[in-house]
Amino acid sequence: MRRNQFAHPFLETIRVSAFIAFALLAAPSYLSVRPARADVAIGTSAGDFLGFEVGASSAGLAGANTSVASGASSQFWNPSLLAGMTRPQASMMHATWLGNLQYEWIGYARPLGPRKGVGSMSVAYFHMPSVSGVDQFDNPTGEFRVYDMALTLGYARPVVKGLMLGANGKVIRQTLASVSGTGAAVDLGASATIAGATLGATVQNLGPDISFGGGSYPLPQLTRFGVSHTLFAERLLLAMDYTMPKTYYNDFRAGAEVRPNSILAVRLGYRRVAGTSGDPSTGLSFGLGAHYGPVNLDYAMTPDNGFADIHRLSFGYTFGGAEAKPEKPEPKKEPVRPPQPKGPPVIVQAPAPKKPELKAEPAPTPKPVETIVRATEQKEVAPPPAAPKVAPKPSAPDQYEVVLGSYQSETSAQSELKALRILGFQLKDAVVTQGPNGGYMLSLARLNSRAKADELARSLTALSFSPRVEIARR
């Protein structure tokens, strides 16, 4: 029987390895092995690495994150949640699964200006060690790489009060040795605040099929709905999600985050996959987080449930300090008026001389002036010398202060100052002061020239800080 002209031994090895790798890569959400069911199209999509959930804080809540803002990683869950950001943030995540499967994600989000919305970008990279190929006689044919990658650009902005919209555009690349596929996708998201609760909805991975290995495969589309609420002065967060993937069973998720103080966060979540029993993705998840000034560090672990644990570690940095709450307007102060000069004090006011009464024999009128002259040995009393007039001092010229703030603690402000010095700023006169409405401010420099102060502020703005120039307090 004649062999197929395309059945080259190396290509057959590629095809077998491709099937194995594709089975690993084409597992949504937690990349778990899933049981089949006739009415669900399992394993029939490409680019399923796009479903690997981003952010250790989100994983600690079991992925109930469609309505929970989580910094730059919100681009993955619901791009509209980025519209509430006031300062730039960078975020990174590393995850491991089955020992040698690695997932890397790095993202950045930045406000574009007042009423201009927030832009974001991220890169996702799923990879495994190089695979050794052999021919039909088990002779080595070399190693080849297996990896998936996605570049995402996003934009979000408030539309009306309490309503935010966002969208992502993605370029997707899957590679297995010489076999590769490229595609594009779009995410759409919306979120709204109603009666203190946040509602969120998103549709992900809308786009055409991807051609891969001689076949055409649809993208792993899914729809999410979520609701969350904070209680006890934001010390407790409760969140719930319902996810409807196109290529697998629907699932329900619930999570809670407790913040005993401003630094520590403890998270617990539960996920239940409907339509099947014993699914590895059904079960609890756990997480811890630390928030220290502009730095966020989070860890989460999803138990194996009979398969394999997934560990996630995330790092985030907010430029210009932690996200600041809106400050209350300061009350207007009345200008202080200089005291008016007073005249010399009057010690004794001499009474006016009385006219003598006319009598038959008028008595001699007393002469008080002569008495005063005798008492002073007939010397004329000279008026006291006038006080010399003092010319008013010229007012000192205004000084201008370049300020960053506000910070939750003095330690976080000092950490920001160290970071600026590492970046090369000469800030020998920088001090940390307490703000008028609580919190701390970082006064970087006092300059006599407004132009020099503005130049320093522009240099800080170019590095994604948010300085302001004020007239220095005397």
The Cα-based distances of 259 to 60, 267, 290 in angstroms read 14, 9, 10
Please compute the mean of the pLDDT values over residues 230-243 and round it to a whole number.
94
Residues 6+ apart with CB under 8 A from 287: 56, 57, 59, 60, 61, 265, 266, 267, 268, 269, 298, 299, 300, 301
Tell me what percent of the residues of the chain surpass a pLDDT of 90: 37
Confidence band (pLDDT; 50, 70, 90) for 448? confident
Asked whether 76 and 68 are in contact (CB, 8 A), the reply is no
Q: Is the pLDDT score of 355 beyond 70? A: no
Tens digit of each residue's pLDDT (9 = 90 or more) over 63-74: 999 999 999 999
Tens digit of each residue's pLDDT (9 = 90 or more) over 421-443: 777 777 777 888 877 777 788 88
* CA separation for the pair 146, 234 (Å, rounded): 44
Q: What is the pLDDT of residue 279?
A: 81
Asked whether 79 and 120 are in contact (CB, 8 A), the reply is yes
Give the count of beta carbons closer than 10 Å to the beta carbon of residue 390: 6
CA gyration radius for the chain?
A: 38
Q: What is the pLDDT of residue 404?
A: 82
Asked whether 270 and 283 are in contact (CB, 8 A), the reply is yes
Q: Give the residue with greater pLDDT, 145 vs 292.
A: 292
Residues 6+ apart with CB under 8 A from 383: none
Q: Give the residue with greater pLDDT, 19 vs 412.
A: 412
3-state secondary structure of 407: strand
DSSP per residue over 83-133, as a string? Answer: GG--S-EEEEEEEEETTTEEEEEEEEEEE-STTS-EEEEEEEEEEEEEEEE
Q: What is the pLDDT of residue 212?
A: 77
Q: Is the pLDDT score of 29 beyond 90? A: no
Confidence band (pLDDT; 50, 70, 90) for 341? low
Q: Is the pLDDT score of 246 beyond 80? A: yes
Among candidate residues 279, 269, 254, the one with its CA nearest the CA of residue 300 = 269
Please compute the mean of the pLDDT values over residues 355-372 and round it to a whole number.
51
**What's the mean pLDDT when you consider all of the chain?**
77
Q: Give the residue with greater pLDDT, 42 vs 165.
A: 165
Q: What is the pLDDT of residue 139?
A: 76
Q: Give the residue with greater pLDDT, 260 vs 384.
A: 260
Tens digit of each residue's pLDDT (9 = 90 or more) over 264-304: 999 999 999 998 777 888 889 999 999 988 999 999 988 76
The Cα-based distances of 371 to 357, 376, 378, 382 in angstroms read 21, 9, 9, 16
Q: What is the pLDDT of residue 336?
A: 56
Tokens encoding 194: 């109603």
Tens digit of each residue's pLDDT (9 = 90 or more) over 147-205: 899 999 999 999 998 999 999 999 999 887 778 889 999 999 999 999 999 999 999 99
Q: Give the residue with greater pLDDT, 39 vs 116.
A: 116
| Residue 179 parent element (H or E) | strand 179-194
Tens digit of each residue's pLDDT (9 = 90 or more) over 82-109: 998 989 999 999 988 776 788 899 999 9
Among candidate residues 146, 150, 82, the one with its CA nearest the CA of residue 120 = 82
Q: Give the residue with greater pLDDT, 35 vs 49.
A: 49
Asked whether 457 and 467 are in contact (CB, 8 A), the reply is yes
Residues 6+ apart with CB under 8 A from 372: 381
Asked whether 80 and 166 are in contact (CB, 8 A), the reply is yes
Confidence band (pLDDT; 50, 70, 90) for 119? very high
* CA separation for the pair 259, 266 (Å, rounded): 7
Give the count of beta carbons closer than 10 Å to the beta carbon of residue 472: 16
Confidence band (pLDDT; 50, 70, 90) for 369? very low
Q: What is the pLDDT of residue 429?
A: 78
The Cα-based distances of 201 to 73, 84, 118, 167 in angstroms read 16, 16, 18, 12
Burial of 352: CB neighbours in 10 Å, binned 0-12, 13-18, 19+? exposed
Tens digit of each residue's pLDDT (9 = 90 or more) over 296-333: 999 998 876 555 678 899 999 998 765 544 444 444 55
Q: What is the pLDDT of residue 28?
A: 36
Torsion angles phi and psi, residue 411, rounded to 5 = -65, -40
End-to-end CA separation in angstroms for the chain: 97
pTM of this structure: 0.62
* CA separation for the pair 335, 456 (Å, rounded): 30
Confidence band (pLDDT; 50, 70, 90) for 226? very high
